[in-house]
């Protein structure tokens, strides 16, 4: 059974750096096609995809936020770390990590999600 | 910027009804599209991937169709647990989501 859980600070001040950890079980980040992504959702808004790290260590970022984001998997490949610099009140959101599965011939999708962590940024 | 336009933004229906939600991509994405269901306080749940493939465990009353720029999600014989918000998401690049469609009980 695949499970993911986000952890990290729930309250930050403007300009601080957010560091979140995604601990997961039930899959291996060494498996070809697998990835772990981060998606956030501001209150009352649609989700916004932010970043993904792939089984081979490659990563992708949302272009508009690329300069602020870092995603990496731990050398043990049993958790993923996400960082977002220069936080602002508009970055207040629930941040989710999710398992990315490749459905061969149909693309790659996020089929298991963590419960999310609400991060509030104050000015 | 790549965008996904979803409509309607909200819809009301009764148990047993059918509803259709549409999603339009700003450029062709083949069939690289997913539909998610989200309930308050919960993470999104994958319903449909590849535009029309049902995720494991999802009831067959959910049906997805479409390709390139125009996609639809149809829910037949609505059940009480189906009242939620639905999002489309493109999977051909940076995983942009639509704005969402809230499905309420009439």
Tens-binned pLDDT, residue by residue, of chain B (106 aa): 789 999 999 999 999 999 999 999 999 999 999 999 999 999 999 999 999 999 999 999 999 999 999 999 999 999 999 999 999 999 977 789 999 999 999 9
What gap in Å lies between CA B24 and CA B4, rounded to an integer? 6
Coil, strand or helix at B81: helix
Calculate the CA A82 to chain-centre distance.
6
B66: contact with A, CB 8 A cutoff: no
Contact at CB, B94 and A115, closer than 8 angstroms: no
Contact at CB, B50 and A107, closer than 8 angstroms: yes
What burial class does residue A6 get, using C-beta atoms within 10 Å of its C-beta: 0-12 exposed, 13-18 middle, 19+ buried?
buried
What gap in Å lies between CA B53 and CA B64, rounded to an integer? 7
CA distance A64 to chain B (A): 10
């Amino acid at each position: 059974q695949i499970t993911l859980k986000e952890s990290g600070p729930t309250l930050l001040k403007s300009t601080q750096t957010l560091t979140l950890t995604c601990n997961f079980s039930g899959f291996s980040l060494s498996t070809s096609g697998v990835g772990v992504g981060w998606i956030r959702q501001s209150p009352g808004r649609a989700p916004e995809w932010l970043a993904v790290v792939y089984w081979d260590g490659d990563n992708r970022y949302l272009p508009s936020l690329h300069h602020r984001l870092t995603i990496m998997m731990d050398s043990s490949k049993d958790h993923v770390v996400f960082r977002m610099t220069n936080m602002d009140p508009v970055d207040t959101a629930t941040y989710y990590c999710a398992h990315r599965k490749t459905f061969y011939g149909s693309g790659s999708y996020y089929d298991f999600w963590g419960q999310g962590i609400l991060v509030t940024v104050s000015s | 910027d790549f965008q996904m336009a979803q409509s309607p933004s909200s819809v009301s229906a009764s148990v047993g009804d059918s509803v259709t939600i549409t999603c339009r991509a700003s450029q062709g994405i083949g069939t690289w599209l997913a539909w998610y269901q989200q309930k308050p306080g919960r993470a999104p749940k994958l319903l449909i991937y590849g535009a029309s493939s049902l995720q494991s465990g999802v009831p067959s009353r959910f049906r997805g169709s479409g390709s390139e720029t125009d996609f639809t999600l149809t829910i037949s014989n609505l059940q009480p647990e189906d009242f939620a918000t639905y999002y489309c998401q493109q999977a051909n690049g940076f995983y942009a989501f639509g704005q969402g469609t809230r499905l309420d009980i009439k």
